[in-house]
Amino acid sequence: MQLCDLTAHEIVERLRRGETSAEAVLDSVLARIAQVEGRAPRTAPYPPSAEEQAEDRRHVHAYISLQAERARERARSIDQARARDEALGPLAGVPLAVKDIFCVEGTPSTAASRMLEHFVAPYSATSVTRLEAAGAVVLGKVNLDEFTYGSSNESSAFQPPVGNPWDPSRVPGGSSGGSAAAVAAGEAVLSIGTDTAGSIRQPAAFCGVVGLKPTYGRVSRYGLIAFASSIDCVGPLTRDVTDSALMLGAMAGADPQDGTAASVPVPDYQAELEAGVRGMRIGLSPDYFRIQYPDAKTGELREQEIDPQVKAAVLDAAQRLAGAGAEIVENVPMPNTRYGIPAYFVVARVEAASNLHRYDGVKYGHRTARPMADLRAMYRASRGEAFGVQPKLRILMGMYVSAAQYEKHYYQRALRVRTLIRGDFEAAFDPAGLHRLDALLAATTPTTAFELGALYGDSVLMQYADLLTVPADHAGVPALSIPAGLDRGGMPIGIQFMARDFDEARLFRLGRAYEMSTAAEAWRSARPKVLGGG
Amino acid sequence: MNEEITAELFAHLVELAALELQESEAAYLRGQLNKQLEIIHELEAIDLPEDTPITSHGVPYSPAISPPPREDAARPYPGPERILAQAPQSEDGYYRVPDIPHTDLA
């Protein structure tokens, strides 16, 4: 076990006791990056050759850009503060990878798109500023699907694609795939990501790390390059639940720069982390086990069971929590779960199209080098050259379903279906209702990580990778994905808890209780393949 | 394959979206749009009462959790030249663009 494999709370403890330094921790992470990262992703055509691609599929390729010198200055200043006996922040000296969808002042902030390949952010996102104020050391920016549009990281303009540390020929998930992979491989201790349909939880599940989608409005979105503004949530990817709680505590809360950052007090998430689950009512829903999604071969929608190994992990977790004193409530109806993806196809596209109109080649971002007769031709050429196919697909669908003559049929209907999805959660959590749940327990993903190239290109199958995560995004409720074992192929399985608005503290208690009940399991000590495991 | 997005409609959307597409890209994108619409049509199976309200974001923003509007206050950015330097083309503190097309009103 090296310093880079420790959790944030262990690192801070050692730092406080004077057993290590922030610079030693940084050196350990940089050495790990040199060991597993492989060549740096670029926007050049990919793959260069079959041999190089085969070589790439043994590495992680999590980072788009590293800011090692900036990180070293920060680490040194933390060590100097400690030498002067100054109080250390809750994340002092902890290396942090930032999904390259956040602005960090003075660093390239690309959104994994050619459109912003040379953009240098003039200010920092509130969430990143707060993590730095808590002592976190920003290492660099990690890869993602272009503008977050995908569930596998393969749509990034920066290739080679991120490989899953547990098997680099498989996807890390997406869109926060670089974040999840970096944390899983010890290339960072913490990462900050975003979740719009499952973009924190799905990669967390695929890479065997903890991912939290907080309540919509819990964390400021200021400085986040926008996708779907009514759904985007900023949250942590970490090695354990304690770190997730630490990181949310450092980021959450109102922000004068974001009118949707709710003015709800931020509790001390650490205080009740190990308060247990006795008396909690935890629901299981058949609508998260058996669900309508496209057949992998024919593409036809049909009722299918999720992967039995993933289902078994959910049921095992329920048993363990029951053993710890929770009450398991079965057969909770969540009948609108199946409409999550169809509604998302409409709502998210309309918002994406709207948010992408700002990229016009005038104020920043890519402009065509070809001479253009007029402004409109320049817009078309610049956007055509710099957007990949996934942004283009979202813009076009967004234009269609929000057009005046179709809007009532598509967009208005999808927003009403969103009300029904929210209604499922309100009924399940209603303290005076039939089920009176404190949390809902489900699989995070219907399968474990799939192979690179298996789904990419089929935008429908790719979107359905999010079918179990997207309902919480529509509803705005918080959801925590935690590792729950490995499948027969040695790939991580993720399970998730969903709770009432702003009840993240309960999610952490549940996650921590599950961690304690599985501490002795063999899979807890398994290592990703890139670190010699598997 | 259902052709809800015909070639003509697709060309119109591309124009609205201010995009210029390669031919192979256009064929792929139109095919995917039609595939996605088949999934979107699942929403029509739902018996949706007329008075169902829309949800524009999941969490209800009650006055208790909504931050009050802040005062309008000008805060000059400390390095406007850094922002201007991001522009593909600028001159004397202005952004430069190709000619803006005019339509003469009859």
Strands A95-99 and A190-195, bridge-based pairing: parallel
Minimal-distance CA residue of chain A relative to B44: A413
Give the integer Cα–Cα distance in Å for A162 and A532: 18
Q: Report domain extents, chain B.
A: 7-45
Q: Per-residue DSSP letters for A199-230?
A: TTHHHHHHHT-EEEEPPTTSS--TTBPPS-TT
Per residue in A177-186, is it b (16+ CB within 10 Å) or e — as a string? bbbbbbbbbb
| B18, B43, B101 ranked by CB distance to A374: nearest | B101
Q: What is the pLDDT of residues B47-69, one digit of tens each?
A: 998 899 998 888 999 999 999 88
- Helix and strand numbers (H, E) in chain A are 16, 13
Specify whether the CB–CB gap between A509 and A277 falls below 8 A: yes
Hey, what long-range contacts does B21-27 have (CB within 8 A, 24 or more apart)?
A: B21/A384, B21/A392, B25/A389, B25/A392
Measured in whole angstroms, how far is the alpha carbon of residue A423 from the centre of its chain? Answer: 25
The lowest-confidence range among A146-150, A479-483, B99-103 is B99-103
Q: What is the pLDDT of residues A259-271, one digit of tens each?
A: 999 999 999 999 9
Annotation marks residue A285 as catalytic: no
Dihedral pair phi/psi, residue B45, rounded to 5°? -75, -10
Minimal-distance CA residue of chain B relative to A351: B56
| Residue of A116, A227, A416 to mutate when probing chain B, most B C-beta within 10 A | A416
Strand, coil or helix: A297: coil
Asked if A358 has any chain B CB less than 8 Å from its own CB, the reply is: no
Instruction: Give yes or no for residue A1 having a pLDDT over 90.
Output: no
Give the integer Cα–Cα distance in Å for A227 and A250: 24
Cα-based torsion angle of the residue sequence A77, A80, A84, A88 in order, rounded to the nearest 10 degrees: 50
Position B77: which residue type? Y
CB-CB neighbors (< 8 A) of B5 in chain A: 400
Contacts across the A-B interface (CB distance below 8 Å) = 190
Position A420: which residue type? L
**pLDDT category, B1, cuts 50, 70, 90?**
low
Packing angle of the helix pair A504-517, A241-251 (nearest 10 deg): 160
Are B86 and A346 a contacting pair at CB < 8 A? no
Number of domains in chain A: 1
- CB within 8 Å of B45: residues ≥ 6 apart: none
The strand ranges marked E within A91-227 are: 95-99, 137-142, 190-195, 210-213
The ipTM (two decimal places) reads 0.95
Q: Supply the pLDDT for residue B43.
A: 94
Packing angle of the helix pair B7-16, B23-40 (nearest 10 deg): 100
Determine the average pLDDT of the residues in A78-103: 97
Give the integer Cα–Cα distance in Å for A299 and A296: 6
Average pLDDT over chain A, rounded to whole?
97
Domain assignment present for residue A103? The answer is yes
| B25, B57, B98 ranked by CB distance to A476: nearest | B57
Q: Supply the pLDDT for residue A407.
A: 87
Determine the average pLDDT of the residues in A341-359: 97
Dihedral pair phi/psi, residue A147, rounded to 5°? 55, 20
Q: What percent of chain A has pLDDT over 70?
A: 100
Q: What is the pLDDT of residues A184-236, one digit of tens each?
A: 999 999 999 999 999 999 999 999 999 999 999 999 999 999 999 999 999 99
| Residue of A109, A397, A410, A418 to mutate when probing chain B, most B C-beta within 10 A | A397
Strands A327-329 and A479-486, bridge-based pairing: unpaired
For tokens 């199209």, what's the residue?
A: A353
Q: A197: which strand partners? A: none
Considering the candidates A65, A191, A199, A244, report the single residue annotated as catalytic.
Answer: A199
Asked if A377 has any chain B CB less than 8 Å from its own CB, the reply is: yes
Asked if A105 has any chain B CB less than 8 Å from its own CB, the reply is: no
Cis peptide bond upstream of A160, omega within 30:
yes
CB-CB neighbors (< 8 A) of A294 in chain B: 39
Asked if A391 has any chain B CB less than 8 Å from its own CB, the reply is: no
Q: What is the pLDDT of residues A375-404, one digit of tens each?
A: 999 999 999 999 999 999 999 999 999 998
Q: Supply the pLDDT for residue A260.
A: 94
Minimal-distance CA residue of chain A relative to B16: A399
Q: What is the pLDDT of residues A101-159, one digit of tens each?
A: 999 999 999 999 999 999 999 999 999 999 999 999 999 999 999 999 999 999 999 99
Annotation marks residue A199 as catalytic: yes
Strand, coil or helix: A64: strand
Q: Supply the pLDDT for residue A114.
A: 98
Q: What is the pLDDT of residues A274-292, one digit of tens each?
A: 999 999 999 999 999 998 8
Minimal-distance CA residue of chain A relative to B85: A364
Determine the average pLDDT of the residues in A69-85: 97
Give the integer Cα–Cα distance in Å for A126 and A305: 41
Q: Which uninterrupted H or E stretch holds A68?
A: helix A68-83
Specify whether the CB–CB gap between A276 and A155 falls below 8 A: no
CB-CB neighbors (< 8 A) of A345 in chain B: 36, 39-40
Range of the domain at A126: 3-274+448-531
Give the integer Cα–Cα distance in Å for A96 and A140: 8
Domain assignment present for residue A356? The answer is no
CB-CB neighbors (< 8 A) of A359 in chain B: none
Per residue in A105-131, is it b (16+ CB within 10 Å) or e — as a string? eebbbbbbbbbbbebbbbbbbbbbbbb
Specify whether the CB–CB gap between A479 and A506 falls below 8 A: no
For tokens 């240098």, what's the residue?
A: A120
Position A268: which residue type? D
Closest CA to A75 of A189, A227, A169, A213: A189
Closest CA to A196 of A243, A233, A143: A233
Considering the candidates A124, A127, A175, A459, report the single residue annotated as catalytic.
Answer: A175
| Total Cβ atoms within 10 A of residue A527 | 15
| A262, A380, A393 ranked by CB distance to B29: nearest | A393
**pLDDT category, A534, cuts 50, 70, 90?**
confident
**Which domain CATH number covers A105?**
3.90.1300.10
Q: Supply the pLDDT for residue B4.
A: 95
Q: Per-residue DSSP letters for A235-295?
A: EEEESSHHHHHHHHHHH-S-BTTBTTS--PPPP-TTTTTTS--TT-EEEE-GGGTEEEEE-
d(CA A368, nearest CA chain B) in Å: 9
DSSP letter at B70 equals P
Are A419 and B53 a contacting pair at CB < 8 A? yes
Domain assignment present for residue A239? The answer is yes
Q: A301: which strand partners? A: A294
Give the integer Cα–Cα distance in Å for A105 and A124: 5
Torsion over CA: B37, B40, B42, B45 (sign) = negative
3-state SS of A405-440? CCCHHHHHHHHHHHHHHHHHHHHHHCCCCCCCCCEE
| Residue of A392, A405, A470 to mutate when probing chain B, most B C-beta within 10 A | A392
Minimal-distance CA residue of chain A relative to B40: A342
Asked if A318 has any chain B CB less than 8 Å from its own CB, the reply is: no
Domain assignment present for residue A289? The answer is no
Annotation marks residue A311 as catalytic: no
Q: Supply the pLDDT for residue B70.
A: 86
Asked if A344 has any chain B CB less than 8 Å from its own CB, the reply is: no
Give the integer Cα–Cα distance in Å for A332 and A437: 9
Instruction: Give yes or no for residue A515 having a pLDDT over 70.
Output: yes
Are B32 and A460 a contacting pair at CB < 8 A? yes
| A345, A380, A399 ranked by CB distance to B36: nearest | A345
CB-CB neighbors (< 8 A) of A353 in chain B: 17
Closest CA to A512 of A208, A270, A313: A270
Q: A328: which strand partners? A: A282
Domain assignment present for residue A400? The answer is no
Minimal-distance CA residue of chain B relative to A372: B98
- CB within 8 Å of B76: residues ≥ 6 apart: none
Are A415 and B20 a contacting pair at CB < 8 A? no
Supply A502's token pair: 């702003």
Q: What is the pLDDT of residues A23-76, one digit of tens each?
A: 999 999 999 999 999 999 999 999 889 999 999 999 999 999 999 999 999 999
Position A57: which residue type? R
Are B101 and A376 a contacting pair at CB < 8 A? yes
Torsion over CA: A176, A179, A181, A183 (sign) = negative
**pLDDT category, B2, cuts 50, 70, 90?**
low
Asked if A376 has any chain B CB less than 8 Å from its own CB, the reply is: yes
Give the CA distances from residue A271 to residues A190, A268, A482, A514, A519, in Å, rounded to whole numbers and listed in that order: 21, 6, 20, 17, 21
Domain assignment present for residue A231? The answer is yes
Q: What is the pLDDT of residues A405-457, one digit of tens each?
A: 988 899 999 999 999 999 999 999 999 999 999 999 999 999 999 999 999 99
Q: Supply the pLDDT for residue A298.
A: 80
